[in-house]
Every structure is written in structure tokens, then in C-alpha cells.
A and B are shown apart, each in its own frame.
Chain A
Amino acid sequence: DAKTTQPDSMESTEGETVHLPCSHATISGNEYIYWYRQVPLQGPEYVTHGLQQNTTNSMAFLAIASDRKSSTLILPHVSLRDAAVYHCILRSNNNNAPRFGAGTKLSVKP
């Protein structure tokens, strides 16, 4: 699976809308974009995923660039509970297991 690039950290304040970027310039046509988040002392938790179209669920909005070389996870009205490390990874339905990078550590101030 292709590699992703994310900023090491981002800061926000409660109530703000946060945009978490992810670059995946070498993404293949059959690769899905997955986002997970991880808080201390817990395993990663699935947030959302998409292939080409923007997607939305109760946790976040995923905006995918038209050329699919980048995506942005949008967290509306963040709270302290949204402070976590957010991982962007690419998955294809093949025999390769996903590798996680360092992700983006999101800090949320009161």
C-alpha cells in the first residue's frame, strides 16, 4: 500500500472546526483512504474511510481531493474528547496488512 504524510501535531480550541490534512501522492486506483484515531492507553479506533467521494458520519467529514492525492479529515466543533493521534492510512483489498505512521497528534484546549 502507498505511503501517507501527515503533520506531526496540530492544536485547536474547543468548539473549533479542525482540518487534519493527509498527503498520499502515490495512491493507487484501488486504494481506500482510512482514518483511525487513538487516545492514550487504548487501541486505534476507526473514524471513517472513502475511495473517491467525500463521506460523512457522526464522527467526521472526509474530504477527498479530485485527483485523490490528498484528503482532509474535518472534525466539526471539537471537544476535549477529540484530543488524540489521528492516523491516515491507505488500504486495498490485497494481502498487505496496513502499516501505521506516526499520525497527527491533535491537542484541544479548553
Chain B
Amino acid sequence: NAGVIQTPRHKVTGKGQEATLWCEPISGHSAVFWYRQTIVQGLEFLTYFRNQAPIDDSGMPKERFSAQMPNQSHSTLKIQSTQPQDSAVYLCASSLQGGDTQYFGPGTRLLVL
């Protein structure tokens, strides 16, 4: 079991560019969660899918951020027109059903210059 896989592990992008982050959940897990972590804000919830359907996106910034889960094997988080304040570690987690134990990936460290 490879655990939750996140790619890329590091991404540097210029202000105004687009960034796409990938997450591959543990095989058989039906729930995928996205979080963002910074020193100032801590670990912030962004969005949550279960069986590929969006369940809770209340943490997603209203503009520029979007997430999809086109199939059960991966989810993407897209940030359009990136800004320096988007710099953070983006963490993906999966769980078997949703209300149970989450398993986190290593995160993608995004730096917007």
C-alpha cells in the first residue's frame, strides 16, 4: 500500500500563473479531503469528496480555486491566477468512507513568486 500519493511534491510558480495539484487516494477509499497548511493559518479545510461527488466545499476560496474528482483514483486542486498568499503546503487525505480515519499524503509545497 503506497499510501496517499500527491504530485508534484514541490511547485514554484509565478504570480498569475495556474497551478494544478494531484492527489491519488488509497485504493478502495471513497472519500478524499483537501487541506491547506501555513504557519499563520495552520491546517485549513478546503473541500471534501465522497464517491467522487462534492460533499463539502465550504473551505474553498470563492475565487480562483476549484477541485474535481473525475474518477475514484485521483482528485485535482486547481488554482487559477496564483497569488503569493496562495503559497502553502496543500495536503490531501483519504478515508474508507468519510467519517472514519483519514490518511494524509506528504503534501505539495506550493511557492508563488
Contact = CB atoms under 8 A, between A and B. Distances in A.
Given A93-B99, A97-B55, A43 B45 contact: no
Contacts of B18: none
A46 B103 contact: yes
Interface stretch (A55-63, A74-82, A98-106): A98-106
Interface residues of A, number: 22
A93 B101 contact: no
Q: Which of B99, B101, B103, B107 has the most CB of A within 10 A?
A: B99
Nearest to A48: B101
Nearest to B103: A46
Contacts of B56: 95-97
B42 A43 contact: no
B39 to A, nearest CB: 11
B93 interface: yes
A44 interface: yes
Q: Which of B43, B59, B100 has the most CB of A within 10 A?
A: B43
Interface of B: 4, 33, 35, 42-43, 45, 47-48, 50, 55-56, 59, 91, 93, 97-107
Contact of B99 (A42, A46, A94, A100): A94
Given A95-B55, A97-B45, A100-B43, A46 B101 contact: yes
Interface of A: 34, 36, 38, 42-46, 49, 87, 91-102
Given A96-B56, A100-B35, A44 B101 contact: no
A97 B61 CA distance: 16
B18 to A, nearest CB: 24
Nearest to A96: B56
A36 B91 CA distance: 14
